[in-house]
Structure 1
Amino acid sequence: RFLEDTGYQEQGRQLAYLYTIARNLCMDYFRRKQNLPLEDGRLSREEGESRQTPLAAHEGKGETGEDRLILAMTLEQALGRLDGELREMLFLRYVNDLSAEQIGKILGISRFAVHRRLKRALGQMRQWIRKEDFL
């Protein structure tokens, strides 16, 4: 879409513009796809996965594959309770490893607002997990 867009004028924010396009495409895709089931194979590095999953940090601490699956399901449920914007910010920060400044440029907010919203999102997840007595 970036290459097709003849109306784009260079303002020094190509990366933010590309992320906005990618964000909109992903949102369109997931609106059509709805909820995807959590697959156990997605969590295991033993099945030939070369990329380290976010849960891999917990491996080697006496946890079994079942423990990791329960943790993944818990996190997925907690993420599902967040509104879309907070969930998106968490993914941009922790999955895509973007800085608060980069996220702010993409979403059109200050980096301070990004920090506040990330803190609120993590707090909401923590509160829900404790309330549900998962951890």
Structure 2
Amino acid sequence: MHTDLDEQYDKIYRYCYMKLRHQQTAEDITQETFLRFLENKTYKDMGKEISYLYRIARNLCIDQIRKQKNEALSEELSGCMENIQERMAVHMDLRKAIKSLDAQEQELVFLRYVNELSVGKTAEILGISRFALYRKDRECLKKLKKEMEG
């Protein structure tokens, strides 16, 4: 197998957490993702392990969101901050800016800048061409910059 599962586990967890905003649920979905991945031999032989992992995680997250549609999701704050007021203000501004993006744009930003996936992998996961990804990426960054400055 070509994919380092230990390295991918944390990235899939963060992806699930970004989608679900609930630690325990994200952990459960991440475990289920890897169980399903390991049960299926087909994609491993085709060299598309990472895309397949994200596809499984994405589908499981969508299913979970449908189940919890009316439940409030909680988010944890990260501890240990030097200047909590300034960091909270920046965090709130960034969160607001990210929420101004549509769901696909949010996913693009997460995959490219949080999980640091390549343009090719991100385009494959989102089901768009590399050219379309470059264009959307530039648009997203412009929107975020405008929101943060405004």
With the shorter chain as reference, the TM-score category is 0.5 to 0.7
Between the aligned partners of 2:119 and 2:42, the Cα distance in structure 1 is 28
Unmatched tracts of structure 2, length 5 or more: 1-35
Query: Is the contact between residue 55 and residue 125 of structure 2 (CA under 8 Å) also seen in structure 1?
Result: yes
Aligned pairs, number: 113
SS in 1 for 2:80: coil
**Hey, what does 2:135 align to over in structure 1?**
116
CA distance in 1, matches of 2:74, 2:89: 14
Structure 1 partner of 2:114: 95
Greater share of helix: 2
- Hey, what's the Cα distance between the residues in 1 that align with 2:86 and 2:75? 14
How far residue 12 of structure 1 moved from its aligned partner, in angstroms, is 2.9
Cα pair 2:43 2:49 within 8 Å, conserved: no
How big is the shift at 1:77? 0.9
TM-aligned CA deviation for residue 108 of structure 1: 2.4
Amino acid at match of 2:110: F
Aligned pair partner of 2:124 in 105, 108, 121: 105
Distance across 2 between alignment mates of 1:76 and 1:92: 16
In 1, are the aligned partners of 2:108 and 2:122 still within 8 Å (CA)? yes
Per the alignment, residue 54 of structure 2 pairs with 19
Quickly say closer, same or farther: Cα 1:81–1:18, change in 2 above 3 A. Answer: same
1:104 shift after superposition: 1.3
Residue 109 of structure 1, CA deviation:
2.1
Distance 1:13 1:93 in 2: 18
Deviation at 1:38, TM superposition (A): 5.5
- What is the Cα deviation at residue 36 of structure 1? 4.4
Whole-Å separation in 2 of the counterparts to 1:127 and 1:29? 33
Please identify, of 5-14 and 23-32, the stretch whose mean Cα deviation from structure 2 is larger.
Answer: 5-14
Query: 1:25, CA displacement in angstroms?
Result: 2.2
**TM-score normalized with structure 1 length:** 0.67
Any gaps of 5 or more consecutive residues in structure 1? 47-58
- Which protein is bigger by CA-based radius of gyration? 1
Deviation string, structure 1 residues 110-135 (Cα, Å, up to 9, x no partner): 222212111111111222233xx3xx
